[in-house]
């Protein structure tokens, strides 16, 4: 039997992007899939629009913006209740190649130890180009609290055309076996936004599952910092969740080395670039507040 895939698209005031994403999904070759739109408390009439224009589309409405992690968890729970074999998280600001889902499923079906797979992700528009890679899998350096994105921001000349095991798959397009979810759990809702995909892959690896990059699957992503229109929000969660992730998985020595390099270099870099050069004082303030909350174990959402 052909495995069933439920594609979860999380929408928050992004109607135009979502329309383009859905149009690209109509062309895909993988037949046994269902699209679920999860509206994350939009105020632009998105849910009503899609109910009218796409009556066959499955739609769930969250009463408020639950963030990326819990917003997608709402959809994942729905997919699990439907008995799906796979869940695909797909950002609403992406467009997909017609064969991308078939490629992802084919690779995953080859090995039951593969729990997470992701495609080659191009920039939707990189100074007018569509062949510039945004993401081709990543390696996580826990002592720095950083992910090294393979081939990032380079023109695709075949340098990242090899399928390989990686530490992290980007949540903008992430295929996961539902039996893996049942074993390792949902996305960590404490993260709210950012780093939840890396944490999920690490948690899966610790349970014996691999994350694999699939270059034959291709999508295009409108990469950018568009978090409620507030860069402060991005800085807060970027700093906070980075610290939370390292605290969760690092050894004592790794944590000490991380804190030294992070507080010595990264924090001052944000202060100098954002605060002094760009004169956006609120950004380093939000970044430092996020770090403080993580160190004091205060993972409550601020948005």
Instruction: Give the C-alpha separation, 78 to 253, whole Å.
Output: 41
Predicted confidence at residue 51, as pLDDT, reads 92
What's the confidence (pLDDT) of residue 55? 87
The pLDDT of residue 267: 87
**What pLDDT score was predicted for residue 300?**
59
Q: What is the DSSP letter of 279?
A: -
Dump pLDDT digits (tens) for 218-252: 999 998 645 445 788 999 999 999 999 999 999 99
Average pLDDT of the residues in 24-38: 97
Q: What is the mean pLDDT of the chain?
A: 93
Residue with tokens 């695709």: 156
pLDDT in tens, 140-174: 999 999 999 999 999 999 999 999 999 999 999 99
pLDDT beyond 70 at 301? no
Pick 5-221's CATH classification: 3.90.550.60, 3.30.565.10, 3.30.2130.30, 1.10.3720.10: 3.90.550.60
**The dihedral sign for the CA sequence 206, 174, 152, 10:** negative
Q: Decide: helix, strand or coil at residue 102.
A: helix
Report CA-CA distances (Å) from 79 to 4, 49, 85, 86, 133: 10, 23, 9, 8, 30
Can you give the pTM of this predicted structure?
0.94
Q: Is the pLDDT of residue 208 over 90?
A: yes
| pLDDT score recorded for residue 228 | 45
Beta carbons within 10 angstroms of residue 166's beta carbon: 23
Contact 213, 137 (CB under 8 A): yes
Query: Phi, psi at residue 125, to the nearest 5°?
Result: -150, 105
Distance CA 200, CA 297 (A): 19
Does 48 have pLDDT greater than 70?
yes
Domain boundaries, the chain: 5-221, 231-295
175 within 8 A of 116, measured Cβ to Cβ: yes
**Per-residue pLDDT at 85 exceeds 50:** yes
What is the percent of the chain with per-residue pLDDT over 90, rounded to a whole number?
Answer: 84
Burial class (CB in 10 A: 0-12, 13-18, 19+), 47: buried
What is the arithmetic mean of pLDDT over 35-63?
93
């Amino acid at each position: 039997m052909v495995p069933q895939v439920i594609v979860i698209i999380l929408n928050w005031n992004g109607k135009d992007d979502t329309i383009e994403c859905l149009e690209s999904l109509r062309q895909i070759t993988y037949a046994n899939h269902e699209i679920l739109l999860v509206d994350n408390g939009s105020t632009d009439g998105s849910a009503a629009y899609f109910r009218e224009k796409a009556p066959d589309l499955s739609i769930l409405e969250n009463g408020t913006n639950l963030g990326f992690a819990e917003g997608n968890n709402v959809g994942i729970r729905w997919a699990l209740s439907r008995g799906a074999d796979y869940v695909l998280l797909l950002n609403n600001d992406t467009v997909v190649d017609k064969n991308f889902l078939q490629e992802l499923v084919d690779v995953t079906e080859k090995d039951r130890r593969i729990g997470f797979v992701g495609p080659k992700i191009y920039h939707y528009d990189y100074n007018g180009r569509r062949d510039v890679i945004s993401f081709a899998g990543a390696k996580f350096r826990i002592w720095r609290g950083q992910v090294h994105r393979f081939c990032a921001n380079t023109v695709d000349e075949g340098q990242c055309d090899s399928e390989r095991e990686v530490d992290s798959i980007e949540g903008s397009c992430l295929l996961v076996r539902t039996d893996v979810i049942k074993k390792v759990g949902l996305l960590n809702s404490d993260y709210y936004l950012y780093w939840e995909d890396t944490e999920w892959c690490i948690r899966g690896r610790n349970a014996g599952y691999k994350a694999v990059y699939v270059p034959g699957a291709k999508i295009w992503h409108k990469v950018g910092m568009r978090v409620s229109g507030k860069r402060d929000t991005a800085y807060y969660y970027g700093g906070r969740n980075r610290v939370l992730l390292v605290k969760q998985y690092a050894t004592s020595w790794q944590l000490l080395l991380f804190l030294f390099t992070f507080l010595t270099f990264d924090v001052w870099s944000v202060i100098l670039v954002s605060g002094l050069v760009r004169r956006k004082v609120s950004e380093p303030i939000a970044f430092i507040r996020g770090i403080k909350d993580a160190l004091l174990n205060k993972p409550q959402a601020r948005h």
